[in-house]
Copies of this chain bind each other. A is one copy, B any other.
């Protein structure tokens, strides 16, 4: 916009995009809402990353680093242990559910809107503690990253682990994904497979000349329906598995015997099971069929037998009064796990409301999460 006078900018850098100033020392509800109301759909995180970076640079106890739209801020007080507390800045597309609004009062108050659960309330807790805690009991690396809600190869945490692994070095990690304020350890692995059934095409008026590939899928579906998913205890948590046909497609026209049918299967397997073991398990169940693994990601053990994790669990649970539970969905804790860093999920918001049009987060969960993390880092 060089042909018009520049608007009054909040920064002295004339090329900077004007940003909202985030108040990290103020009210957590206001901070959560300010984060939600900034544009931040995956791929459009520039403004929110700029706002986060600018706000953190105001605190001299933090060293602030930037890579693309990921921001890292860390203390260096010489503690013997370092922990990562991480969250992503992006959201799925809005569904006519912004700007945020608050419904109810006091302990019943909830913030409604896209991102309140997944995961701006968690990011608000991170930012407030990053600003406040100049001398935490562990040195802390606060990580805010981009592109979590889209294809895995775009993931900002993955990019940091490849390009700046030293930025993520730590003894333990907390991912502030929504867990309704409880502690969820590790995550199941996930694998996508295709069962490809072949037949012989024929005119449907002379079906006996052909062989029906869709009919052949019946036995595959029957085995899946009869299958009893396992529940597997790992490090004291019980992981419930899932094995499902998620897509099916077959046939070419209403007057042709189908010569092909593809059943896509999703297997969520316990973190004690390797990708190879998971594949072997599905192949055994579907013995005799053409099974192809399309993609797979191992799970993450809860790591609750690690001393750092045990301390975290004790500190958090003293505040929340809950017990650790397994995480079923695949989350970025598996990226820490792959780097050899024990990691857990802990954050405000009901994960079942993530990505929903009626996404909303109880204010009380934000407060409790803040208290619990603060207790751990000041104990």
Contact = CB atoms under 8 A, between A and B. Distances in A.
Interface in A230-275: 240, 242-258, 261, 263-264, 266, 268
Interface stretch (A65-73, A96-104, A213-221, A338-346): A213-221
Interface residues of A, number: 50
A205 interface: yes
A214 B255 contact: no
Contact of A218 (B206, B224, B246, B250): B224
A195 to B, nearest CB: 12
Contact of A242 (B192, B207, B252, B264): B207
Nearest to A265: B254
Contacts of A264: 251, 254
Determine chain A's interface SS by DSSP, over half rule: mixed
Given A221-B215, A246-B255, A248-B249, A208 B329 contact: no
B214 A229 contact: no
A246 B257 contact: yes
Contacts of A328: 203, 205-206
A150 to B, nearest CB: 13
A244 B204 contact: yes
A330 interface: yes
6 contacts: A203-B328, A209-B352, A214-B245, A215-B225, A216-B225, A247-B254
Interface of A: 188, 190, 192, 203-209, 212, 214-222, 224-225, 229, 240, 242-258, 261, 263-264, 266, 268, 328-330, 352
